[in-house]
Amino acid sequence: MATTFTDIGVETHGHVGLIEIRRPPLNFFDISLINQIADALDAFDNDIEIRASVLAAQGKAFCAGANFNDPARQAQEAREAEGRAKGDPADSLGPINHLYIQAVRIFRARKPIVAAVHGAAIGGGLGLAVAADFRVTCPEARFSANFTKLGFHPGFGLTVTLPELIGKNNAELMFYTSRRVTGEQAYQWGLANECVPQNEVRTTAMKLASEIAECSPLGLLSTRATMRAGLADRVLAATNHELEEQTRLRATEDFKEGVKATEERRVANFKGR
């Protein structure tokens, strides 16, 4: 593949494409990373030989979400983004509306995606895992929509995708508690399709993608288009609303306290303002 990527590795294995996130150990995301993943999926869509793909990651986590505590990135991107408050912990994301534009591109990919979730999938990292058609995980993995613990609103389209996957009430449980769900629980809920030993996660994901790739490419494209009809548009509508709520909440004292408490590994002292 001719495109040069800085934060992901891209390989092809027969009819299966592999995207590996390379920001270890925690693989925090930002606009650049999501854009690169979307670009790689676009390239796979345009490659007649590729019929399915695997999204995997190096390091300890699959994707630990956004790094709200990266001062260097905050300073750089704060200079680039006009009109945002100095010291805003969400600056590390870059302009969130731009981030969600790239995220929706992932949902518009036309070929099946298997996520190899060998470690934590937190916040937007959970959103990225849920963007895939299937997830292979392990007992050591943790899934968390930890937005409310940060004083924030869920994003990355999770208010649409998570309820559709595990049911409205289980999604509410994850949103309202910000708890970490184990790999076994994720499998029981249908958040993961397979739960295997940690050292077998990627191999199992590749095997599942290879099984998919044995099927008719035209039949796959047609069937997936039917099954995911309107999903990207629903995610777009959801991210528009999520962005409004996140923009409002990121200006609150509670958001700054939530980020600080998470960094200091303590219970937040929220004031409701």
What are the extents of the domains in the chain? 8-198+212-263
Strands 16-21 and 52-57: parallel
Residue 69's pLDDT is 62
Residue 78's pLDDT is 45
Rounded alpha-carbon distances, angstroms, from residue 100 to 34, 104, 105, 136: 9, 6, 9, 25
C-alpha torsion 226→232→235→240, nearest 10: -150
Where b means 16+ CB within 10 Å and e means fewer, 40-70 reads: bbbbbbeeeebbbbbbbbbbebbbbbbbbeb
pTM over 0.75: yes
Residue 79's pLDDT is 43
Residue 88's pLDDT is 52
Rounded alpha-carbon distances, angstroms, from residue 59 to 55, 77, 272: 14, 25, 36
pLDDT per residue as tens, the chain (273 positions): 445 799 999 999 999 999 999 999 999 999 999 999 999 999 999 999 999 999 999 999 999 998 866 544 444 444 444 444 444 545 544 456 778 999 999 999 999 999 999 999 999 999 999 999 999 999 999 999 999 999 999 999 999 999 999 999 999 999 999 999 999 999 999 999 999 999 999 999 999 999 999 999 999 999 999 999 999 999 999 999 999 999 999 999 999 999 999 889 999 999 999
CATH superfamily membership of 8-198+212-263: 2-enoyl-CoA Hydratase; Chain A, domain 1 (3.90.226.10)
Residue 105's pLDDT is 96
- Written as six digits, the tokens of 100 are 């969600």
| C-alpha–C-alpha distance, residues 107 and 132, integer Å | 8
Cβ neighbours, 10 Å, residue 223: 13
Q: Pick from 267, 264, 263, 265: which is nearest to 74 by CA?
A: 263
Direct distance between the N- and C-terminal alpha carbons of the chain, in angstroms, rounded to an integer: 49
Residue 172's pLDDT is 98
